[in-house]
A and B are shown apart, each in its own frame.
Chain A
Amino acid sequence: MTAPMALPARAETQADDPAVRERAERITRRAADGIIDQVAELGDLGLIRSTTVEVRLHRASPLFKLYILNSEEVFYGFYPVVERTVSIKGEPMAIYDLMGKDVPLFHYAVTDDDASHGTRFVEASRQWFDSVWSTIAYRYDA
């Protein structure tokens, strides 16, 4: 994530900023590492027979979150853009941030009907995911 990003951005300049990017990278890394650790722990405890995690990153601004479970269910939520002052390396900075903690997640599920809204949304989500995964996404090393 060393390339300029549209979001998050520094509010004053309305532009990419290395300090803001570094903060976003830290948060992304923490989230990915958390998932990796927790999945591994489930395996270590013997709660699951075997586990694997593969993480790839992309450099596009994250404007939404999308969870695809077993190719059958999708949870989708928007990340609103919010201006807020945060502390970066001890210095206050107003940034345009992406806030997704308390947004509603919309649920879609495959049904028996191929033409149903749920079936089509899950299929389109998978196609979108695969398109990013196989093109601009790059390997993440924990």
Chain B
Amino acid sequence: MNADLGRLLGEVDALLLDFDGPVCSIFAGYPAPQVAAELVDVLRRHGVDVPPDLASEPDPLEVLRRTGTADDQDATCAVEDALCAAERRAVKTAEPTPYGREVIVAARQAGMSVAVVSNNSAGAVSAYLEAHRPAGYVSPVVGRAYAAPDRMKPDPEPILQAVRAVRHSPNRCVLIGDSLSGIEGAQAAGVRVVGYANRPAKVEKFLAAEADLVITSMSAIAGALIERISS
């Protein structure tokens, strides 16, 4: 697999990273289910009748997505604002992904562009990158469109936005993602995709989704990049 990874990385000029997963675990210190519950409270304060399955939804992005489908733009904006604020708080206690930084730094050494394409808000991503100091290595940071959750990945548009910004053709870019929405978005955008299976159960899922490659540690990418630099 390392040979395949080395070959794939040798064929691309830009690394597009999903944020939550490949770079850090954003809700490590401020659990996602707690954020989701706070968003549900926002909906209730807005007079929305929250069905039980939404009330128990543990993923804040899923709460936002489902709110978006209800066609109540006021409620969507309220949830969006609350989620942006929560993400800004969350990045302060986010847990760096093992070898995530190594990948970003090694990619720059190898002369590659590095971008972040996230369903989290760009403000939170940038705040994290600045606090941990790799901000100068990453451009652009593409976050989710404001109060328009239907435009999040798997919509390919945010990925294509990053592709345009790094000025390489889609097939010279690779997205590193740890979710199906990232893999599907990458395929729709025509970029290569490496599935980062940070839980064992994801390996099969990503293979079934036909990711170009599946890795279980970011160290595989960092190692392949170091080999490329020193060869």
Residues on A lying within 8 angstroms of B by beta carbon are 11-12, 14, 83-87, 91-94
Q: Mark B83-106, 1 if CB is under 8 A from A, else 0.
A: 000000000000010010111111
Whether A92 touches B106, Cβ cut-off 8 Å, given contacts A11-B101, A85-B226, A87-B226, is yes
Inter-chain contact B109/A87, CB cutoff 8 Å: no
Pick the contact of B226: A11, A14, A83, A92 (CB < 8 A): A92
Interface CB pairs A-B, < 8 A, 19 = A11-B105, A11-B133, A12-B101, A83-B105, A83-B133, A83-B134, A84-B105, A84-B109, A85-B102, A85-B103, A85-B105, A87-B223, A91-B219, A92-B99, A92-B219, A92-B223, A94-B102, A94-B104, A94-B105
Inter-chain contact A85/B219, CB cutoff 8 Å: no
* Residues of A contacting B223 in the complex (Cβ-Cβ under 8 angstroms): 87, 92
Instruction: Give the interface SS of chain A, mostly helix, strand, loop or mixed.
Output: strand
A16 nearest CB across to chain B (Å): 17
B129 nearest CB across to chain A (Å): 13
Inter-chain contact B109/A85, CB cutoff 8 Å: yes
Q: Which residue of A lies closest to B106 (CB)?
A: A85
* Residues of B contacting A87 in the complex (Cβ-Cβ under 8 angstroms): 223, 226
Within 8 A of A (CB), among B193-231: 219, 222-223, 225-226
CA of A14 to CA of B131 in the docked complex: distance in angstroms? 11
* Residues of A contacting B222 in the complex (Cβ-Cβ under 8 angstroms): 85, 92
* Residues of A contacting B102 in the complex (Cβ-Cβ under 8 angstroms): 85, 92-94
CA of A92 to CA of B222 in the docked complex: distance in angstroms? 6
CA of A93 to CA of B105 in the docked complex: distance in angstroms? 10
Residues on B lying within 8 angstroms of A by beta carbon are 96, 99, 101-106, 109, 132-134, 219, 222-223, 225-226
Instruction: Give the interface SS of chain B, mostly helix, strand, loop or mixed.
Output: helix
CA of A85 to CA of B221 in the docked complex: distance in angstroms? 12
A125 nearest CB across to chain B (Å): 33
B223 nearest CB across to chain A (Å): 6
* Residues of A contacting B104 in the complex (Cβ-Cβ under 8 angstroms): 94
* Residues of B contacting A85 in the complex (Cβ-Cβ under 8 angstroms): 102-103, 105-106, 109, 222, 225-226
A27 nearest CB across to chain B (Å): 16
CA of A39 to CA of B225 in the docked complex: distance in angstroms? 38
* Residues of A contacting B225 in the complex (Cβ-Cβ under 8 angstroms): 85, 92
CA of A91 to CA of B99 in the docked complex: distance in angstroms? 9
* Residues of A contacting B103 in the complex (Cβ-Cβ under 8 angstroms): 85
Q: Which residue of B lies closest to A86 (CB)?
A: B226
A82 nearest CB across to chain B (Å): 9
* Residues of B contacting A92 in the complex (Cβ-Cβ under 8 angstroms): 99, 102, 106, 219, 222-223, 225-226
* Residues of B contacting A14 in the complex (Cβ-Cβ under 8 angstroms): 133
A11 nearest CB across to chain B (Å): 6
CA of A14 to CA of B225 in the docked complex: distance in angstroms? 22
* Residues of B contacting A94 in the complex (Cβ-Cβ under 8 angstroms): 101-102, 104-106
B50 nearest CB across to chain A (Å): 40
CA of A14 to CA of B105 in the docked complex: distance in angstroms? 14
* Residues of B contacting A84 in the complex (Cβ-Cβ under 8 angstroms): 105-106, 109
Which of A86, A93, A94 has the largest count of B CB atoms less than 10 A from its CB?
A94
Q: Which residue of B lies closest to A13 (CB)?
A: B96
Q: Which residue of A lies closest to B104 (CB)?
A: A94
* Residues of B contacting A93 in the complex (Cβ-Cβ under 8 angstroms): 102
* Residues of A contacting B99 in the complex (Cβ-Cβ under 8 angstroms): 92
* Residues of B contacting A12 in the complex (Cβ-Cβ under 8 angstroms): 96, 101, 132
